[in-house]
Structure 1
C-alpha cells in the first residue's frame, strides 16, 4: 500500500459488565421450554436449533460458517439483562471493552486495542457507526451505544472483515441486528424493572414494543421506546454530594418495512438515544466509590441515526443498497483544578514566566493571581458529528458451487470539536455560565473513505471450500485547528487556523479454506489483512514534527475446528491465531504529561486461543462456556524518542488481559400445565492488565483481575406470554475495576471505572 502523504497548508476551520453468555457461546439458541413443551416426550430428539447468521452475506448456521464467529439470540440477551454493547463484554471469546463509563467505551476483539480510529467495526443493522475524535483523535474510544431491546441477534466476528463489510474492520466486527416489522400480525412487548443498588439507591426502567401491519403482507411498522434511571453509587467527598453518578437514558426507534413485491423489501429506520450522567469514575486514592473532584463532571450524549435499506432478490443474487445519516452531540467535563493549582510554586513561575530565572516579587504575585483565577476549573470538550454512509452490494444466492459478493462503500464524517478550559463554582462545582474561558482549542475534522470489496467462494469438492477476497481503499483526512485563547499554564499558544491534509490508498486481502471432515466436524484456516487510517494530531502545544501519524495494518492467521456431537446436543469450537501488527498507532503524552496524542511506533504480535462449549445434557438444561488466552506483546522497541512512555520488546499491550472466561447455566422446568419455571446463572472472569506498556512509567497503573456473577429466577406463562423474575447482577458485590488511568492532569491520582455494585430487583414482561 502507498504511504501517508502530508500536505501542510494554512486554511479554514455502567453497568460495566453485565454478563450475557447465553447461547451465543456455542452458537445455539437457548432452550426456552414452556410447561406444555416439557410434557412432551423428547427422548432421543436433537436439542435446540443452531442460530442462523448472515456474516457471509448469505444465510448459514454458526457451525457451517468457516470463520471465528459467535452469536447471541435476542431471547438470550433478554434473559441475561443485556441493555447495550457495554453489557456484551463477557459474551464471547476474545471480546472485551476498555470501559471509561457511559459513552466512553472502546470495543476490543483479540487484543487489538489502542487509541485512534475504531479497530472494530460496530454495526447497527446495516449501518456502521463510529465515535468522536476529541482533541486526541480517539474516535474508537466513544462507540455509540444504542439500546439493545427487541433484538433479533448479535453477531461477533473475530479477525479482519474488510473484504465483506463496507467499513473495514481491522480486528473484527460487532453486528447488532434488530427485529424487523412483521407484516402479518399485531404484536407487542412491555418490559419493566425495579431494583436497588448497594451503595446507591433505587433504579427503575421500562421498555415497550408495538408492531402493527398497515397493509397485510405489504407494509408494517415497529415502534420501540424505553426509559431508564439508575441511581448513583459514587460519592463526591470534595463537594459533599452522595450518589453523584445518576444515569438517565431514554429514546426509541421507529422502523417501517415495505414489501412492494415478493422480491423487493424496503426498510426505513430512525433511532434516538439520549444519555445523561455525572462522574462515571471514582478516585482510588479517595476511597472505594469516592470521587474528590472539585467540579461536577457531567456527560451528555445525544445520538440520532437514520437509515434506509433496500433488498431485491434476483434469481441468482440479492442486490442490497443502504444509506445512513448519523448526528451525534457529545459533551463531557474533566476536572483539572488540582493540576492548575499545582502550578502555584516559585519553580513553575521561574519556568513559565522567568525563562528559567527566579521570578521577581511582582512576577510571582501576578503568576499566583493567574493560577488562583483558574483554581477551580475543568476541560469542557463539546463535539458535534455528522456522518453519512452508503453501500451497494450484490451477493449470490448461495445455491451453487461458486458464491460471491461484490460491493462498494462510501462514508463522509465531519466532527467539530470545541475544547475549552473553563472556570467552575468552587461551592457547587458547576461550570460558571456564561463560560469563563482560560484557553480554547477548536478543531474541524473530516474523514472521507471510498472502498470496493469482494469475495469469491468455491466448493471445490464435497466438503472442501476455498475463498479469496480483496478490498481497495482510499481515504482523505482534512483537519483544521486553531487556538484563540492562550494559556501558559497548559502550554497553549495562539495559533491561527492551520490545516493538515492526508490521504492514502491501497489493498487488503483475505484467504480462507475449510473442509468438512464429517457432517459435524469442520476444519478451517484463514489469513486476512486489516487496515486503519492515519491522520494528524490536534493537541495543545504539540511540536509540529509530531503532528502527522501513519496508518497501521496487520495480518491475522488462524486455524479453527468446529464440532457437534451427542446427536447435536453439544458443540465445541476452538481456534488458534497469530496476528502480526505493523506501524502501531499508540498513545503518547506531551513532555509535561498533561495531554495524550497519537504516534506510530514499533511492531506487535498477538497470539491466542479461543474455545467455546455448548451442552444440553437433559431437557430444559443449557450449559454454555468460553475461555480465551491472549498473549499480546511488542516485538520490537518503540522508536518514539519518549523513553518514559515508549514500550520495549516484550511489553504487553495495555488493557489486554491474558485470560478471560465466561459461562452460564439455565434450567427451564414445568410448574403446572400452564406455568413454567426458569433459573439462570451467568459468571465471567477477566484477568489483570496494565494501562501503559512500561510498568515502571510514573503514570502506569495496574488493573487487577476480577470475577462477576449474575443470577435470575422466574415464573413464565403459557407460550411465554408473560414472565416475572427476581434477578441480581454482581451477586457477590465484587469491586471490579475495569479501567485505571493516571496523568499529570490527575496529579498522580489513580482514576478508575468499575462495575456497578450488587443490584437486586424484580423484572416483569408481557407479550401479546
Structure 2
C-alpha cells in the first residue's frame, strides 16, 4: 500500500447515474463514469448494495456518501487511482441534514428523473422517515401534507381529495401500490371513491404525492392527483431484516399497538432474492353505546403481509412478482351523535365492518439500450362487508302516504284509511331495529405495456398501452336485528333483498414527449386516448315493502365513453437550483347509471365530468440545497361535476351532475436546514373551490348557487415542523421533533337551504416526538394531539342520521422500538 495519498482528481460537469444493485457494481460504474481507477478488496463490499437509483452532478460527493453509508472511505493515490478501505471506527455518522439534501430519484413520469428537475407539483416521503415518525397509512400521511384531505364516508371508509376535487363516482385521486392501481367497490350508490384503499405503509421505499391532473399517464381516476406507494425491493446481495413493535394509548380508548417484521433473503447471489413482511396493528376505539352497553366502538384491527420475489437473470433484465394481503376488522360504528353527547352512539344495531384485500402483481423490465421496456399485470380482489344502522330510515317511512298506498296496492289517486295507516305503522315497527347488511366484492385485472427513454439526450419520452376490467357484485339486505343485543340473527331475518352488479372496462393508449428547445427550455406534450364501457344491472329477490324496492325493474344499463386527455407543459431550467414551468392539462372521469326505485328517467344516467387545469409552478434551492422551496398557483375549470344526492324518501342515494365549478389555489412547500442539526419544514395549501353557476341538486327544490363553496373542501390548511438532532455518542443520536397542523372550516353541503347542511369548525393539532437512534436500533416516544383538541374531523347529516360526528385523532401517546439485523 502506498505511504502517501494524493488529492482526489476533479470530475466536474459530469452527471453520474447509478442503478440499484450490489455496491461493488455501483462503485465500479461510478469510477468508470468519473474517469477514475478503482482498487478495493472484494470482501469489504460483499453482501452490500444500494437500494435506490441515484443521480448526482458531483461524482466525488456521491462517492463519499456511498462509502460513508457503508462505513468505508477512499484514499486517493497518484494518477486518479482510489483505494477503498474501512472507515476508522472513531468517526461519528454525519448529521441527517447533510444526508437529506441529496437528490431524490422519482418515477412519477413513468421514467427516472430527479425530483428537483421534474416539472411537476409533487412531494416525496422516504419510507424510513415515515416509519420513524409514526406514519403508518395514508390518513396519517395526510397530516403532514395539507394538500391531501381524507374525508370519512362511513365506518372504515374514506374519500381522498387533492385540490378540492371532492365528489362521488370514480375516484379523483389515483392510488398506486408499485405498478398496481386500486379502486374500491361502488356499492349500491356506484361510488368507488368512498372506499379509498389504505394498506399499511410497512417496508416502503418512498411515497410520491403528485398534485394536479395526471390523466395522460395515469388515467381517469387521477383528476386531482396520484398517491404512489413504492415498496422496498428484494436485495440479492445480503440477508437482512427489521423488527418493529409499539404500544399506544389513546385518550378514552382501550390500549393499542403494532408489530411488524421484514426479512430479506438472497436465494441466488446477485440474481434471485425474496423479501417478506408481516404486520399487525390495533387502534383503540372511543365510542360508547349506552343502549347496548358496549364500549370501545370503532376499535380497528389490521393485519397483513407481503411477499416479493425478484429475479435478475442478466444485466438489464429483471422480473418481479409480489403478493399482498390485508385483513381489517372494525368492532362497531366509529362515529357519535351530537345530540347524544361526546363519543356516545346509542344506535339500536351493532354495525361491525369487515374488509379483506388481496393484490398480486408481476412486472418485467428489460433494457433495450437507451430505452426501457416494462410489462406489468395486476389482479386484486377486495371483499367488504358493510353494515349500516337502518332503523331511522325505516321508521321514517311509516308516515309516507305513497309507501302506504304501495303497501296496500292502492291507486295513485287513493289514500290510505286511518286503519290502514295504523296497520302499516305497526308493520314498520315490527321490522325494527334494522340494518343494511351489504357484502360487496370487486375483482380487477389490469395490464400495462410501456416504453420509456433512459438516455440524457434532448428528447425524453414514455409511451404505453393500458387495459383494465373491473367486476363488482353487491348484495343489499335489509334485516331485522335482535332488539336486546343489536346483533343480526342467524338465519337472517330479511325485510328486503336486492342484488346489483357492475362491469367497467377500459382501454387506453398514452404518451408524453419532452423535447429540449434550448439548453434551458423544454416543451412537453402528452395525450391519452381512452375507451370506457360500464354495464350495470340489478334485480330484487325480496321486495322491501317499507322502502319500495318492489318498484325497481330488473334489467341492464350501459354507458360508453371514447375520448382523450391532453397535456402541454413548458419548462425553463436555467440552473441546477431553479426550475419554472407552466402547464395546461385535462382531467376526465366516466359517468354511469343509477339503479334505485322510482327514479325519474332523466336521472337514470349521469354524465362524465371533465376539467381543464392551468398551473404555474417553480422549484428553487440555495446554499447547497439546504434551503428549498416548491410553489405553484393553479386554476381548475370543472364541468358536469358528479355529486351525491338522496331519493325523495331518503332510503336511497344516487349520483347526479351538479353543474360547473371553478377552483383557484396555491401550494407552498419550504424546507430549511437552519444548521447541520436543525431542520424546519412548512407546507401550505389554499383551495378556493366554488360553483360557477346556479344548479338544482335534486327533485326536492334545493338550489346550489353560484359562489357556493364545494362541500368538504377546507379553504386553508398548513403543516409546520421542526426537528433537532443531537449526538449522544459517536454512534448514538437523539432527535426531537415538534409538528403543528391547521385545517380551516368546511361545509358538508353547498348552502343552508339543504336540510342536512353542517359546518365543521377549524381544527389544530400539536405533536411531539423524541427518538433515539443507533446503528441497528432506535426507540421513540411520541404524543399526538398533545393539547387533546376535540374539534371533530367532520360533522355529517343525512337520512341515516343527523349530526354524525367523526373524531379527529384524540390525544395518543406511543412508544415504538425498531431493530435492524
The reply on whether 1:491 has 2:545 as its aligned counterpart is: no
Contact 1:100 1:280 in 2 (8 A): no
Q: How far apart are 1:168 and its partner, in Å?
A: 5.1
Is 2:665 the counterpart of 1:665? no
Does structure 1 retain, via aligned residues, the 8 Å contact 2:756–2:798?
Answer: yes
Residue 25 of structure 1 corresponds to none
Is residue 814 of structure 2 the alignment partner of residue 739 of structure 1? no
Corresponding position: 1:401 with 2:474: no
- Mapping of residues 673-752 of structure 1, within 5 Å: 673-717=730-774, 719=775, 721-746=776-801, 749-752=802-805
User: In the alignment, which residue of structure 2 is the partner of 1:151?
Assistant: 204
Aligned to 1:392: 449
Give the match's secondary structure for 1:765.
strand
Determine whether 1:290 maps to 2:290: no
Report whether the alignment pairs 1:437 with 2:513: no
Look up the match of 1:632.
689
**Paired residues of 2:449 and 2:465 also in contact (CA < 8 A):** yes
- Alpha-carbon distance between aligned partners in 2 of 1:95 and 1:276, rounded to the nearest angstrom: 25
CA contact (8 A) 2:748 2:758 kept: yes
Does residue 165 (structure 1) correspond to residue 227 (structure 2)? The answer is no
- Aligned partners of 1:411 and 1:448 also within 8 Å: yes
Q: Deviations over 1:363-385 (max 9, x none)?
A: 24431331122110011111011
Q: 1:45 to 1:145 in 2, by over 3 A?
A: closer
- Other-structure match for 1:110: 163
1:405–1:430 distance in 2 versus 1, CA, 3 Å: same
Structure 2 residue corresponding to 1:85, chosen from 131, 135, 138: 138
User: Match of 1:592, SS?
Assistant: coil
Residues 560 and 449 from structure 1, CA distance in 2 versus in 1: closer, same or farther, beyond 3 angstroms? same
In structure 2, how many angstroms separate the alpha carbons of the residues matched to 1:152 and 1:661?
25
1:417 aligns with 2:474: yes
Given the two structures, how large is their TM-score scaled by the length of structure 1?
0.92
Q: Is the 8 A contact 2:155 2:298 kept in 1?
A: no
Tell me the equivalent position of 1:48.
Answer: 101
Distance 2:621 2:69 in 1: 20
Compared CA separation, residues 619 and 36, structure 1 to 2 (3 A): farther
1:409 shift after superposition:
0.3
Three-state SS of the structure 2 residue aligned to 1:163 is helix
Q: CA deviation at 1:158?
A: 0.9
Alignment pair present for 1:203 and 2:260 = no
Counterpart for residue 380 of structure 1 = 437
Query: How far apart are 1:457 and its partner, in Å?
Result: 0.3
Superposed displacement of residue 244, structure 1? 1.9
The reply to whether residue 252 of structure 1 matches residue 305 of structure 2 is yes
Alpha-carbon distance in structure 1 between the residues aligned to 2:219 and 2:201: 23
| Aligned-residue offset at 1:44 | 12
Matched, 1:561 2:610: no
1: CA distance between counterparts of 2:604 and 2:472?
A: 18
State how far apart, in whole Å, the 2-side matches of 1:665 and 1:585 are. 40
Q: Could you tell me how far 1:263 is from its partner in structure 2? A: 0.8
In structure 2, distance between residues paired with 1:702 and 1:398: 53
Which residue is equivalent to 2:520? Answer: 463
Any conservation in 1 of the 2:766–2:786 contact (CA below 8 Å)?
Answer: yes
Deviation, 1:32, is 11
User: Is the 1:594–1:743 contact (alpha carbons within 8 Å) kept by the matching residues of 2?
Assistant: no
For structure 1, the residue ranges without an aligned partner over 5 or more in a row are 1-28
Cα shift readout 1:288-318 (whole Å, capped 9, x = no counterpart): 1111211011110000000011111111210
In the TM superposition, 1:646-661 aligns within 5 A as: 646-661=703-718
Which SS does the other structure have where 1:366 is aligned?
helix
| Inter-partner Cα distance in structure 2 for 1:722 and 1:41 | 17
1:619-660 deviation per Cα after TM superposition (whole angstroms, max 9, x unaligned): 121211111111000101124553644411111111000001
Q: Which has the higher Rg, Structure 1 or Structure 2?
A: 2
SS of residue matched to 1:734: coil
Say which of 598, 620, 632 aligns to 1:575: 632
SS of match in other structure, 2:729: coil
Residues 648-703 of structure 1, C-alpha deviations (whole Å, 9 max, x = no match): 11111110000010122122211123321111122211111111112331111111
Show CA shifts across 1:132-165 (max 9, x none): 1011110011012111011100011111112223
CA distance in 2, matches of 1:628, 1:46: 27
> Which piece of structure 1 moves more, 540-549 or 562-571?
540-549
> Which whole-Å CA distance do the structure 2 matches of 1:63 and 1:197 have between them?
39
Give the conservation status (yes or no) of the 8 Å contact 1:58–1:398.
no
The one-character-per-residue Cα deviations of 1:460-499 (angstroms, maximum 9, x if unpaired) are 1111111000110001000011122223422322545310
Mapped partners of 2:413, 2:687: distance in 1: 48
Distance 2:527 2:95 in 1: 47
Deviation at 1:752, TM superposition (A): 2.1
Deviation at 1:594, TM superposition (A): 3.3
Q: Shift of residue 217 of structure 1? A: 0.7
| Worse-matched range after superposition: 129-138 or 731-740 | 731-740
Quickly say closer, same or farther: Cα 1:267–1:618, change in 2 above 3 A.
same
Q: Who is 2:563 aligned against?
A: 506
Match of 2:606 among 549, 555, 569: 549
Q: Does 1:472 align with 2:529?
A: yes
1:616 is the counterpart of 2:669: no
Correspondence list, 1:17-96, <5 A: 39=92, 48-96=101-149
Deviation of 1:430 after TM superposition, in Å, equals 0.7
SS of match in other structure, 1:63 = helix
Q: Hey, what does 1:265 align to over in structure 2? A: 318
In 2, Cα distance between the equivalents of 1:152 and 1:86?
18
**Contact preservation (8 Å) 1:304, 1:326:** yes
Q: Identify which of structures 1 and 2 has the higher relative contact order when contacts are C-alpha pairs closer than 8 Å and 6+ apart.
A: 1
Distance 1:33 1:262, change over 3 A: closer
How far is the alpha carbon of 1:124 from its aligned partner?
0.4
For residue 350 of structure 1, report the CA deviation from its aligned partner.
6.0
Contact 1:103 1:145 in 2 (8 A): no
Q: Residues 240 and 605 of structure 1: is their aligned pair in 2 closer, same or farther, counting only changes over 3 Å? A: same
- The alpha-carbon deviation at position 47 of structure 1 amounts to 6.4
Question: Is the 1:484–1:496 Cα contact (8 Å) retained in structure 2?
Answer: no
Distance in 2 separating the partners of 1:171 and 1:570: 28
After TM superposition, give the deviation of residue 245 of structure 1 in Å: 1.8
Identify if the C-alpha distance between structure 1 residues 64 and 36 changes in structure 2 by more than 3 Å, giving closer, same or farther: farther
| 1:202 Cα offset (Å) | 1.1
Separation of aligned partners in 2, 1:33 and 1:663:
33
Instruction: Provide, for residues 214-248 of structure 1, a one-character-per-residue CA deviation record: whole Å limited to 9, x for no partner.
Output: 00111000000011122211111221111122211
Q: Distance in 2 between matches of 1:314 and 1:78?
A: 36
Distance (whole Å) between structure 2 residues aligned to residue 508 and residue 202 of structure 1? 49
Tell me what 2:33 maps to.
none
* Alpha-carbon distance change, 366 to 667 in structure 1, aligned in 2, over 3 angstroms: same
Deviations 1:493-534 (A, max 9, x none): 254531001111011100011102432111110000011011
The residue aligned with 2:385 is: 331
* C-alpha spacing 1:45/1:156, structure 2 compared with 1 (3 Å): closer
